[in-house]
Chain A
Amino acid sequence: MGANNHFTLLLALRWRLFVNSLRRGNRRSEFGAQILAFVLGAIVVFGLSAAFFGGTLGLLNTGHADFLDLLLWAVFLIWQLAPILFEGYSPGLNFREVARYPISFRTYFLLNAAYGISDPAALACLLWLFSMWLGILIAKPDWAITALAAFLLFALFNLFCNRVIIGLFDRFQSTRKGRERMVVIMLAIMLLPQLMQLATANWASVKRVKVPGWVLDFITPVRQMSPPGVVARVLLLDGSDKLVALAFVACYGLLAWLLLRRQLQAVYEGEIYSEGFTVKRELRVRPGWRLPGVDEVISTIVEKELRYIRQNVRMIVQFVYPMILFLFLSFSGTSKRFFFTRSSTGLLAMLAGFLLLSLPNLAYNIFGMDGESFGRWLLCPLPLRKVFLGKNLTHGGILAGIYLIAAAIVIPVSSVSLLPAASVTIGFFAILVIQLGAGNLFSVYWPKRIELTRMSSRMASSAAGLASLLVVLPVGAISGAVGLAAWYCHLPWLPLAAGLIGLAVALTLYSYLLNRTVNYSHDHLEEIASTLGA
């Protein structure tokens, strides 16, 4: 059986799994949410295609062809980074399992590459390269054939390189130490745009930027010898130099191919990622935690939840990221351009908003990390309501803790007066309670198993993500309306009064939603357990 047949079989398998998954009601709503996300994503991708086309045309027509490599850099970075950041949105096939079937290594390699090319980010980048090529075809028809060859080699290089990176991340994710290293890498990737923004903002504020000579001496050859730079040089150079540059692009592709081949060979031959280690010491089990003022069982649930969260790199990143983003926006040179950062109260509100936006990933699929262990909660001699309360206390406690620490710094530093500070804080807690209540319901309506050791595992279902708009939009509208009314009518106490009323409403709503969630759970135990265990 050849690679084509295996690929067809895999496609058929994915299709069958997808069709079968639609037998469940919650999967149908999940599919609907994914279609909506796909449509929105497609609009962005096609919009950017027009930008790449226009950019290429503009650079060539205005005699700035030497800047073409910047567009190629954009393609390169997005192709390499987007599949990592959005890995959870791809079908997520486990190639370690594919290797169990009697297929040749060549087929295995081709399947892996074909899978890589079907990644949404890869497809988008191919479209953008094609748009650039169309721009070249119109502006410089003489370059079209060489450009086509160079772009094809560049695409292959990107594909192999990305598969190597995904493989490395999968490997990191599989081990405890690797996950800890990944925290640093993920943070660096996420911070890159902010660092660039900060740098450009600072440069823009200086009238004449004098870049030191040694910086240029370093950057220029790196830029020229980088894969995007070499591809651009294929277009710009003439004669034999053009061929040499093209050979360089091919060398980059070959190098990436060799790396991928080496990596896949190890997996194909049965390399096992394991975090196992043996501790040789006297057996001594430490007693669990006892949280002050909290029931023993709730305390135990909180301990378990925190241990699980600690193991989830992406979750930790999602807690840290809002804080870093907040710091960048607060102290970068562009801060005055943002509405929220013009006033000290706005700054505090922005902090609260960032933190609340990070909550759905945690609170909208609260059994996701438990997987098939969901059944353990049902075996324990306690009402299910207590499990929800314990989990909510953990998740809410983390967010509240981060907010209070950050607010304790922001309030004195930015001189936020007492009334607005109290209003924002009470508003924050009111929205937090509503989010947790809604999250409980979404968690049992659309449960989703989270694989901690897999990059491709998402934190919550698409349906829950979409449903979060049902919470965010009304809450945002009400908060905005209250803020405007207070400003327009000069009623500084209005946000505080609205916050207090909101908190009372939130607590009532939370109680109602919790009852509904528990009742729904009892009626759908089997369905929830099988979805989480699948």
Chain B
Amino acid sequence: MSEIVLQTVALRRTFGPLVAVDNLDLKVEKQQFYGFLGPNGAGKSTTIKMLTGLLRPSSGQASILGLDLAGNSVEIKRRIGVVPEGLALFERLTGAQLLNFVGRMYGLDRAKAAERSAELLEFMDLKDSADKLVADYSHGMKKKTALAAAVIHGPEILFLDEPFEGVDAIAATTLKRLLQRFVAHGGTVFLTSHVLEVVERLCTHIGIVQNGRLVASGSLDELRTGVKIAGHDGSPLTLEEIFLQVVGGAKQDVEVLSWL
């Protein structure tokens, strides 16, 4: 059996009366490319924030790389990489300065941080913009910089919150290349995304969350087996069809929006 690198037990987070994440039980194994899906407001980002130390859980337990999150947050942070929702880039630094800074904050020595920064800038096609302020980068460039910052220290797990949102096809290809390389070399990826085609193509395992609860989980084939659709022609279900079945489809017979 593969090594479990991420596990949550009854993880819960409330904001006043709102329950954002409700008794979430997750298991992610090493080298899995885990797609965490759900409609807007389902609790995906809240879950990632809790798993990466940006938010305290209200109750429940989480362990990452066999370490309890509550008591080992610094050690866990050292071994994971994160692309958070808002990217959290120091935009008044240049791309090169930022990567250098992040590398050193993760404990790399000066020479190694500089060397890896240069390699990452080259790989991400940011070479010509290395001395530009991050504030002047396009959205796609910022996403690439954020991913470079997440991997500079050689993490074992990557947490990515909507890494492909607002990214053009060329930048998305670069991001995908890096992630596939990361998993092939023994890393684990945990990502949220609204782009179901990308998730279907990249992810080996999928979890679907709705109203803060995990409503489906497993490999794509396992999900296909688990979801039954009346009247389907027997061809394999797409992830979009599975997703809509699990979380509920779009509204039919729209009688509002009469002006459109």
Query: A residues touching B (Cβ–Cβ < 8 Å)?
Result: 176, 274-280, 283-288, 290, 296-297, 299-301, 303-304, 307-308, 311, 369-376, 378-383, 452-453, 522-523, 525-526, 529, 533
Given A283-B122, A287-B114, A381-B106, CB of A304 within 8 Å of CB of B93: yes
Given A274-B136, A378-B53, A525-B55, CB of A307 within 8 Å of CB of B92: yes
Contact at A285–B90, with CB atoms within 8 Å? no
| Bitwise interface map of B from 109 to 152 toward A, beta carbon under 8 Å scored 1, else 0 | 11101110110011000011111110110000000000000000
Given A283-B118, A285-B99, CB of A277 within 8 Å of CB of B104: no
Question: Which residues of chain B from 84 to 109 have a CB within 8 Å of any chain A CB?
Answer: 84, 86-93, 96-97, 99-102, 104-107, 109
Q: Which residue of A lies closest to B100 (CB)?
A: A288
Which residues of chain B are near A296, meaning CB under 8 Å?
104, 107, 109-110
Contact at B132–A303, with CB atoms within 8 Å? no
Given A370-B90, A375-B84, A452-B92, CB of A278 within 8 Å of CB of B132: yes
Contact at B97–A307, with CB atoms within 8 Å? yes
- With A288-B101, A307-B93, A376-B88 known, 6 other A-B pairs at CB within 8 A are A176-B133, A283-B122, A380-B77, A381-B74, A381-B105, A529-B54
Q: How far is the CA of A376 from the CA of B98 in the complex (A)?
A: 11
> Which among A280, A311, A374, A525 is the interface contact of B92 at CB below 8 angstroms?
A311
> Which among A274, A303, A311, A452 is the interface contact of B101 at CB below 8 angstroms?
A303
Which residues of chain B are near A379, meaning CB under 8 Å?
52-54, 77, 82, 84, 88
Q: What are 6 A-B pairs with beta-carbon distances under 8 A?
A: A278-B128, A285-B118, A286-B96, A288-B97, A296-B109, A523-B56
Q: How far is the CA of A311 from the CA of B93 in the complex (A)?
A: 10
Which residues of chain B are near A369, meaning CB under 8 Å?
92
Given A374-B88, A379-B53, A381-B78, CB of A275 within 8 Å of CB of B117: no
Q: How far is the CA of A526 from the CA of B135 in the complex (A)?
A: 23
**Nearest 3 A-B pairs (CB), nearest first?**
A381-B78, A287-B110, A381-B77
Which residues of chain B are near A374, meaning CB under 8 Å?
88
Q: Which residue of B lies closest to A529 (CB)?
A: B54
Q: How far is the CA of A299 from the CA of B104 in the complex (A)?
A: 9
Shortest A523–chain B CB gap in Å is 8
Which residues of chain A are near B110, meaning CB under 8 Å?
287-288, 290, 296
Q: Does B68 contact A (CB under 8 A)?
A: no
Contact at A383–B74, with CB atoms within 8 Å? yes
Given A275-B136, A381-B74, A525-B55, CB of A376 within 8 Å of CB of B106: no
Which residues of chain A are near B107, meaning CB under 8 Å?
296-297, 381
Which residues of chain A are near B127, meaning CB under 8 Å?
283
Contact at B136–A373, with CB atoms within 8 Å? no
Which residues of chain A are near B75, meaning CB under 8 Å?
381
Contact at B56–A522, with CB atoms within 8 Å? yes
Q: How far is the CA of A526 from the CA of B15 in the complex (A)?
A: 10
Which residues of chain B are near A376, meaning CB under 8 Å?
88-90, 102
Shortest B52–chain A CB gap in Å is 6
> Which among A279, A288, A304, A378 is the interface contact of B130 at CB below 8 angstroms?
A279
Contact at B121–A285, with CB atoms within 8 Å? yes
Which residues of chain A are near B113, meaning CB under 8 Å?
287-288
Contact at A372–B101, with CB atoms within 8 Å? no
Contact at A283–B130, with CB atoms within 8 Å? yes
Given A274-B136, A382-B105, CB of A308 within 8 Å of CB of B92: yes
Which residues of chain A are near B88, meaning CB under 8 Å?
372-376, 379
Which residues of chain B are near A533, meaning CB under 8 Å?
86
Shortest B90–chain A CB gap in Å is 5
Q: Which residue of A lies closest to B108 (CB)?
A: A296
Given A286-B114, A304-B90, CB of A382 within 8 Å of CB of B136: no
Q: How far is the CA of A59 from the CA of B151 in the complex (A)?
A: 74
Interface centre among B84, B88, B122, B131 (most CB of A within 10 A): B88
Which residues of chain B are near A288, meaning CB under 8 Å?
97, 100-101, 104, 110, 113-114
> Which among B56, B101, B128, B135 is the interface contact of A525 at CB below 8 angstroms?
B56
Q: How far is the CA of A334 from the CA of B215 in the complex (A)?
A: 78
Shortest B160–chain A CB gap in Å is 13
Given A375-B86, A379-B84, CB of A287 within 8 Å of CB of B77: no
Q: How far is the CA of A349 from the CA of B129 in the complex (A)?
A: 48
Shortest A173–chain B CB gap in Å is 13
Shortest B62–chain A CB gap in Å is 16
Which residues of chain A are near B122, meaning CB under 8 Å?
283
Shortest B179–chain A CB gap in Å is 18
Q: How far is the CA of A326 from the CA of B176 in the complex (A)?
A: 59
| Bitwise interface map of B from 181 to 213 toward A, beta carbon under 8 Å scored 1, else 0 | 000000000000000000000000000000000
Shortest B14–chain A CB gap in Å is 12
Q: Which residue of A lies closest to B104 (CB)?
A: A300
Which residues of chain A are near B114, meaning CB under 8 Å?
285-288
Q: How far is the CA of A279 from the CA of B75 in the complex (A)?
A: 38
Shortest B127–chain A CB gap in Å is 5
Which residues of chain A are near B89, meaning CB under 8 Å?
373, 376
Shortest A23–chain B CB gap in Å is 11
Shortest A495–chain B CB gap in Å is 42
Q: How far is the CA of A529 from the CA of B117 in the complex (A)?
A: 27
Q: How far is the CA of A220 from the CA of B134 in the complex (A)?
A: 52
Which residues of chain A are near B128, meaning CB under 8 Å?
278-280
